[in-house]
Structure 1
Amino acid sequence: MKHPAGSREDAKPAVVEPPALALAPKADTPADRAEFEPKQVETKPSAPSGPITIRPTDTVILKDVTRFGLNIGARSTYGAAQHLKNLIPNPGFEAGVFGSMIHAAKGATTVRVAQAFWDTDWTREDYGIGQPAGFWDGGEYEFTYGAAKGRTGRITRFALENHENVFYLDGGGPAPNEWDVLVVRRDLPGLVAGPRMATDCVSNDVRPGSPGKQSLHLKAGGEWSKCEVYMDSEWRDGDKSAGKLIVVRGPWKISFWAKGKGVADRIRVMFHREGEGSFIDESIKLSPQWQLIERAFTVPDGADKLGPYNEGDYHPLLVLSLSVDNDGGQVWLDDAALEPANEKNPTVFTDAFVNRLKELRPGVLRNWSTQHGNTLVNEIAEPFERKTNGYSPRQRAAGEWGFSLHEFLQLCKEIEAEPWYVMPPMWSERDVHGLMEYLAGPADGAHPYADRRASLGQQEPWSDVFKRIHIEFGNEMWGEASANDPFFGASALGGERLGTMANERFALLRASPFFKDDKINLIIGGQFYYPGRQGEIDATGNHHREIALAPYFGSDKEHANDDELFYPLFARPFEDVATGRMKQSQDELDRGGKKTGLAIYEINFHTTGGEAPIDVTNDFVTGANGALALPLYMLVYQRDMGAKNQCAFTAIQYSFGIGEGRYVRVWGLLRDIAATARKRPTWLGLELVNRVIQGDMVAVDIEGTRNGWTQRPINTVENEIDVPFVHAFAYKNGNTRSLIVFNLNLTDATSVNVAIEGAASGPITRHQIAPKSLHDDNEDAETVSIVTDLLEATNPTTLELPAHSLTALEWQT
């Protein structure tokens, strides 16, 4: 906490490219039932020749659909993801936990296991990279895959020998084979301080009633004379175009417990924007007894100005400083909070974020944030007792701290979304058993994890709160498990290992007396760019119900004009389901015969290859085209692949660095939440369709001649494909009917007739995104929005579809 946070948003890994795959021939007919006559040019279509009729039917395509969901991600102290009320990470100043997934090198014995994929030449004491000798001493181990599977015990010694990390293990049993999986876990003493754990600044003297185990001990004149939390550094140290991503305004409050060694000791509290002024700056007298200190303050509008700033100006950070304020003084700090004062919602998340989520109405929220190296006990700990955690062999500090599983479920309850939880792959059997008890067991004094749930304020089992709870084993665990893998330390190395370990953990969940098959959906993450991976995973067991993919989209390699940018973007989902990787993935599952379904764990633009000038790329990924593209992909996958559970990536992020000082403005559907809270067009597109996705998805008949274009193979479209301009998706929920219609023509409006079968009981509600230009965005001002109005219900109802527009209708019958 003494050092400024990093300078970029959480990295999204590059996609691992698979071997070349043979594609099936181009489909001759579109997915829905209509005559289609493409204009035989590359991507320069003509306007439709006349109106067509869109007729929603009663034929159910997919029962009981789920509105589209969202990944919420971790809080970022330095960037845009400022969705937690309390700005202080690790506010109880607690120690750490660490868990890693290790692969055995060749030549392991029963008691000596060297780690594959790490050379100790990479271990650097000066930079805190890698793990020093002794790091794992006394930790616990468990073999979770291979010849030694099931062996557990203690690590007697961790050494660096012959360029390898070496684990010496107690106990007996089989020796592992090369690349068998060893999971190791341990507690880390101290307090995370940059790349290391500091032990000279903590004390076991905690405030009365604290749920935590340690406090922060500050001494005047020493290295730890103050505690500083640096925030909002992205615009200084990373993407300077971001501007401030936290703007402090209105009523705030700060609270903490403190005591001094003597009656003369004082603590100075300062919350300020560098060089621009302080919001609170006070020296407070302490005593040798613990006392709760609380202060309220108001920041006038404009005191922390949003701008403007020039690129050459210094971009000041936001800083909270708690320091010893007298010579020779000593101060103990515990359980601190800095947060807005008038928040209304009952969760740990800000009103601004919760309100935005309620506007989006996600059907499911996916929590992949900071939990990879965590334990169940820490995942359901209160904020002031929650430890930091880590998992990567590159690291020696447990540097992650975020919201808990319990707090995530409270958020899902508040916004009425189904939870999708990424279960840490390092969890022990006791953690896995405990998870089901926590989620679904009775709080009756005989079930400690359920009793813990009740003590946190949730008496009723979570399984009774939600229609379904989705549990995924790890995140993108098929990766290469080497130092080049962004999830090194949490990767399985291929689909067979992943599927085997996941199904064995899922078997433990299913063995619980509290498991209900209709309530718990078990998911394994697959690899979109290698459809064969889905077959590998699916063949390993029968306990999973879905394999989830991340079909990222959007290439701007060819960008001479709008036709080259946008028509391939709109064409690819139709190729995906006709001959592409979605179809190939489903074919892999169909061959397995287990009726395993497909889900989408992440989806968004992935235009990070640097193939176009950065201004072209940022215009492409933030433009109004995203309001059409993101829901179009998800709707096509829902209709043609039966993908019920889909989550866009991610709620909040300003940009992602791709090297050489270039930043691409992905993956946040919100530009930020604590400065402008502007919705990017991708968010708006999901918000619009989520207003009308309901009940059962039904088939649509489209009568008449639909014009379209013939898309040539560019920008990730691999085969020539014919695509109509107009697409429609329909739903029926009792007496409520709804319809979503796209006009993908880049230049021309078109009229359609919508058949309203039966007598409508009132007007039709229309929601529409019809930007003046697909290059419009909301980065600096709101230019793209949803417009809602009422239409008179007639049969048919004539609907004017502007060029490049998205329209949703809802009516009662």
Structure 2
Amino acid sequence: MTYPSVLRHLPLLLGSLLCAADLPPVAGDKAVFAITPGVVQANPARFGANIDPPAMSHWSTEPWHNQWWSGPAINPITARHKGTATAGSATTLEDDKGAKISYFDVFRSGFFDGGTVAVYRLTDGVVSLVREGRIATYEASKDGPNRLTFAEPGPAVQPGDEYVLTTVRREIPTAVTRTYADNPWWLLGNYQLEQGTEKALHAAGVRMVIDADAPPGGGTGSLRLTLPGSEKPVRVGTWFMSDQQADWPRLNNGKTYTVSVWLKQAGMATGAVEIRVGDQATQSVTATTAWQQHSFDFTAKPPKGTSRFDLGSAEKGVLWIDNVAIVEKDGPPAYGYYPAVVDTLKRFRPNTLRLWTLQENRGFGKALDDALAPPAEANLSFRESHGAGATDPLGLHRQLELCAQVGTSPWIITSTMFTGQEQRNLIEYLAGPADTPYGRKRAAWGQAKPWTAVFPQIKLEMGNETWNGMFAPQGFSGRGKFYGAYSDYMFRQMQSSPHWKADRFQLVINGWVAQTGSEEWAFGASALKACPSAQAIDIAYYTGGWDAVGLIASENPMQGWMNALVYSRRMLAPRAMEFKKTADTIAAASGRKVESLVYEAGPGYTLPAPGKFNLGEQREGKSLAHAINALDIFMSNLRAGYGDQSFFMFKNGHYWASHNRAWGEHIAWKALGMRNALLEGDLVGAEVRRMVTIDLPEAKADTVSQSNSANRKTKTFPPVPNLPLVDCYPFKQGKRWSFMLISRRLDGDTPVELELPFDPAPAYAVHTLGGASPDLHNIDSEVVTVVSEQRTDMTRTFSLAMPKHSVVVVVAQER
């Protein structure tokens, strides 16, 4: 996901805009558009969405796939760190400034011993690989030294070189991390000791390690749990379900589920193990001295209280655990998608789905092989606290499979921490024949044909929001030029693959809405200039955000809703136009084509955290007014020539969600879906003959620092005269014509006339998304829907009454 930065705090300002005055008067009596057949944008892309298929969470999400336990994989832990060298030699690399080689003391001496390091250098605008090799010793501490020693000498490291460290561990000794130092039981996030018992059990001798011994299909590890013998069972697990909120995730009530787990023991008296599935079921099994799978069924029911899934024993000895699963017995195949999820996406008809399976925003990287492996066989990813977690609940194959089922193209975020070889391996996986090493990995899933033969295009984006300092260490905050050159190096590695297909891939880099101009210091412009292989650059547009709860706050609520309705036209559209102009100018100067994209957009919210949930904020962000505003910037960008635009995000629930808990559509999703479902063919011209407008006065509002909410500044916004309240987007496909009308008006309906360039057939359809109040939402149920009706009075000069704060699509036929 994306978080706001300096100029992305603009949504916060809207809370005070207009609050000192009445609503501006509306000028004009109607809106008149002369439709012209000239093509403005040929067959523009339908809107897409970000997806990140979730694992089961007791408070946040239920899975889209049939595997209801969040921790099936117990395998070694992959950890990565990226930074900038401050000094070095032929045998050493030092980073002793800022986050340092320790990343704020998360990693301490010994953590990366035996791991690998890759070093990159920017010279004359071009990044190259300086060296790769093994790490003999890794020294890191708060007071230093902060350096590594290479196992073999090589080219000398210089200040400013970028490095990426990688290691794979089976245990996390307390001496090698700050965050685990006082919590030696933190190893696996899904296999935690019961809360409040950890210290006593650790003192009694309970130990956990990822052992190399694994059952069939268990990857390269299992959990070895050393038990001291106790009066009560020593249990490992995590929270599974809760009744704290009525709409928190649940199993499918009344359905039969199968729990399965592989167990093995040594030195236990009887091997007695107890498995608890929250408050749903409890089962006793007997582990033997050889790996054995145990399974049992239970019928799901509504939960009572908050409970864990866990397993354990009171006996002394050693217990091995692996391949834990909870699968709905009569549901899809294990890890298969529920049809309702696939069908819901199909109805939206997305042009692309932006996939996160290779990306780790705020963590410590992933390895490509982990994202390509079956979930139960994949390595885990290191987390700063509470133990390692699954690299991804499903992996890349299953997400590409979903794209194929939906009939859309994938937009893959690839990691900035991957090595050049991993980037080449990714291309081989996507485009290579089945007899190549990574083609065989794909074929092992049953996909012998390359994915490039399935999809017309695959987007490959180098990182996510690499400008954002909150997402260190994966990003390049304040270093757009280095990021661009680094991306170019990685793209060249991809292109060097013998399986590269130029007509099947689009290479994408990050831009930043806070710096949309062409200045040398502007992140996007400097990155694009330094990355000649980039074919697209993207940007995000949110309305609201973690520090923008006050978006609609006002002494007069209607003034606040007006602020929301005009926000995209007033604040976002000018920046979007500048961003595209910058990209087009740089592309023209270098003799190439660069497409402008939107990687994330939609209503924004405060960052979720325990105790911070605000239902009022959810209602505001999911309101009819915000939905119209979101559609406004999507359509404005479409007309300006943007390519793919991706809503954030497709999921059910609260915050950045397309659907409510029952998979009913939030209004913003409905609005965007009207474009995808109803507007076909080319966007043609709409000349404004008459318009209803308002004059927005100058406004002042507070801005808040991203890093320090107490740091407030006052910003003044100039007046906006003659802001139009209705927009028209006509589309033509053969003899089929469709017209989208968007009303930003708050005080009443607007007479609208369309002057058509053709003789229409009398029959036509009208599809309306609207409601009596701008604060309507679909959180509890679908209060706001698209109402469709058939009429037979279409004329060449067509008139209708456009409802206030609404979206209307008219579909007609040429005689």
Q: TM bucket by the smaller chain?
A: 0.7 to 0.9
Give the stretch that moved more between structures: 546-555 or 577-586: 577-586
Q: Is the 8 A contact 1:364 1:417 kept in 2?
A: yes
Give the stretch that moved more between structures: 421-430 or 334-343: 334-343
Corresponding residue for residue 255 of structure 1: 260
Which digits, 9 at most, give the CA deviation of each residue in 1:538-586, with x for residues without a partner?
1103111111001222454562334532333333433457643541552
How many residue pairs were aligned?
729
Give the stretch that moved more between structures: 769-778 or 394-403: 394-403
Is the alpha carbon distance of 1:78 and 1:146 closer, same or farther for their aligned partners in structure 2, counting shifts above 3 Å? farther
Q: Report the CA distance between 1:605 and its aligned residue.
A: 2.9
Corresponding residue for residue 381 of structure 2: 389
Aligned match of 2:97 in 110, 113, 116? 116
Instruction: Within 5 Å, give how 1:261-660 maps onto structure 2.
Output: 261=266, 264-272=270-278, 278-300=279-301, 303-304=302-303, 316-324=305-313, 327-328=315-316, 331-344=319-332, 348-368=336-356, 371-372=359-360, 373-390=365-382, 398-402=388-392, 403-443=394-434, 445=435, 447-480=436-469, 485-491=470-476, 493-531=478-516, 532-554=522-544, 556=550, 559-575=554-570, 579-580=574-575, 582-584=577-579, 586-587=581-582, 589-593=584-588, 594-606=592-604, 608=606, 617-640=617-640, 642-652=641-651
Corresponding residue for residue 94 of structure 1: 75
Q: Is the 8 A contact 2:768 2:808 kept in 1?
A: yes
* Partners of 1:18 and 1:281 in 2: CA distance: 50
Alignment of 1:13 with 2:3, yes or no, is yes
Q: Is the 8 A contact 1:108 1:178 kept in 2?
A: no
* Partners of 1:479 and 1:249 in 2: CA distance: 42
* Partner SS for 2:776: coil
Corresponding residue for residue 192 of structure 2: none
Q: Report the CA distance between 1:807 and its aligned residue.
A: 1.6
* Partners of 1:42 and 1:130 in 2: CA distance: 53
* Partners of 2:9 and 2:75 in 1: CA distance: 46
Q: Report the CA distance between 1:187 and its aligned residue.
A: 1.1
Alignment of 1:226 with 2:235, yes or no, is yes
* Partners of 1:283 and 1:621 in 2: CA distance: 47
Alignment of 1:206 with 2:214, yes or no, is yes
Corresponding residue for residue 808 of structure 2: 807
Is the alpha carbon distance of 1:578 and 1:213 closer, same or farther for their aligned partners in structure 2, counting shifts above 3 Å? closer
Give the stretch that moved more between structures: 781-790 or 643-652: 781-790
* Partners of 1:693 and 1:228 in 2: CA distance: 50
Q: Report the CA distance between 1:508 and its aligned residue.
A: 1.7
Give the stretch that moved more between structures: 376-385 or 263-272: 263-272
Corresponding residue for residue 4 of structure 1: none
Aligned match of 1:699 in 660, 667, 685? 685
* Partner SS for 2:638: helix
Q: Is the 8 A contact 2:229 2:316 kept in 1?
A: no
* Partner SS for 1:667: coil
Aligned match of 1:686 in 655, 669, 672? 672
Q: Report the CA distance between 1:745 and its aligned residue.
A: 1.0
* Partners of 1:578 and 1:621 in 2: CA distance: 19
* Partner SS for 1:635: helix
Corresponding residue for residue 31 of structure 1: none
Alignment of 1:777 with 2:777, yes or no, is yes
Is the alpha carbon distance of 1:107 and 1:433 closer, same or farther for their aligned partners in structure 2, counting shifts above 3 Å? closer
* Partners of 1:171 and 1:79 in 2: CA distance: 49
Aligned match of 2:38 in 47, 54, 59? 59
* Partners of 2:7 and 2:626 in 1: CA distance: 25
Aligned Cα root-mean-square deviation (Å): 3.5
Q: Is the 8 A contact 1:738 1:809 kept in 2?
A: yes
Is the alpha carbon distance of 1:175 and 1:693 closer, same or farther for their aligned partners in structure 2, counting shifts above 3 Å? farther
Q: Report the CA distance between 1:247 and its aligned residue.
A: 5.1
* Partners of 1:775 and 1:757 in 2: CA distance: 37
Q: Is the 8 A contact 1:757 1:795 kept in 2?
A: no
Q: Report the CA distance between 1:470 and its aligned residue.
A: 0.6
Q: Is the 8 A contact 1:389 1:400 kept in 2?
A: yes
Corresponding residue for residue 712 of structure 1: 697
* Partners of 2:653 and 2:421 in 1: CA distance: 39
Is the alpha carbon distance of 1:229 and 1:790 closer, same or farther for their aligned partners in structure 2, counting shifts above 3 Å? farther
Corresponding residue for residue 662 of structure 1: none
Q: Is the 8 A contact 2:224 2:318 kept in 1?
A: yes
Q: Report the CA distance between 1:98 and its aligned residue.
A: 1.6
Which digits, 9 at most, give the CA deviation of each residue in 1:731-761, with x for residues without a partner?
2334443221112111211233445665667
Structure 2: 5+ residue runs without aligned partners?
A: 11-20, 174-179, 189-206, 517-521, 702-714
Q: Report the CA distance between 1:381 and its aligned residue.
A: 0.2
Corresponding residue for residue 137 of structure 2: 157
Aligned match of 1:82 in 62, 65, 90? 62
Q: Is the 8 A contact 1:576 1:582 kept in 2?
A: no
Corresponding residue for residue 5 of structure 1: none
Q: Report the CA distance between 1:499 and its aligned residue.
A: 0.3
* Partners of 1:419 and 1:727 in 2: CA distance: 31
Corresponding residue for residue 187 of structure 2: 197
Kindly provide the amino acid, as one letter, of the partner of residue 580 in structure 1.
R
Under a length normalisation based on structure 1, what TM-score does the superposition of the two structures give? Answer: 0.81
Q: Report the CA distance between 1:256 and its aligned residue.
A: 2.6
Q: Is the 8 A contact 1:104 1:114 kept in 2?
A: yes
Is the alpha carbon distance of 1:717 and 1:87 closer, same or farther for their aligned partners in structure 2, counting shifts above 3 Å? farther
Give the stretch that moved more between structures: 260-269 or 278-287: 260-269
Q: Report the CA distance between 1:137 and its aligned residue.
A: 0.6
Give the stretch that moved more between structures: 462-471 or 100-109: 100-109
Kindly provide the amino acid, as one letter, of the partner of residue 222 in structure 2.
S
Kindly provide the amino acid, as one letter, of the partner of residue 264 in structure 1.
T
Corresponding residue for residue 29 of structure 1: none
Q: Is the 8 A contact 2:566 2:744 kept in 1?
A: no
Q: Report the CA distance between 1:772 and its aligned residue.
A: 1.8
Corresponding residue for residue 707 of structure 2: none
Q: Report the CA distance between 1:14 and its aligned residue.
A: 3.4
* Partner SS for 1:604: strand
Q: Is the 8 A contact 2:102 2:108 kept in 1?
A: no
Is the alpha carbon distance of 1:652 and 1:645 closer, same or farther for their aligned partners in structure 2, counting shifts above 3 Å? same
Q: Is the 8 A contact 1:138 1:154 kept in 2?
A: yes
Under a length normalisation based on structure 2, what TM-score does the superposition of the two structures give? Answer: 0.81
* Partners of 1:650 and 1:74 in 2: CA distance: 11
Q: Report the CA distance between 1:614 and its aligned residue.
A: 6.4
Structure 1: 5+ residue runs without aligned partners?
A: 1-10, 21-40, 124-128, 273-277, 306-315, 656-665
Which digits, 9 at most, give the CA deviation of each residue in 1:707-752, with x for residues without a partner?
1212234479943323212111122334443221112111211233
Kindly provide the amino acid, as one letter, of the partner of residue 204 in structure 1.
A
Q: Report the CA distance between 1:415 and its aligned residue.
A: 1.2
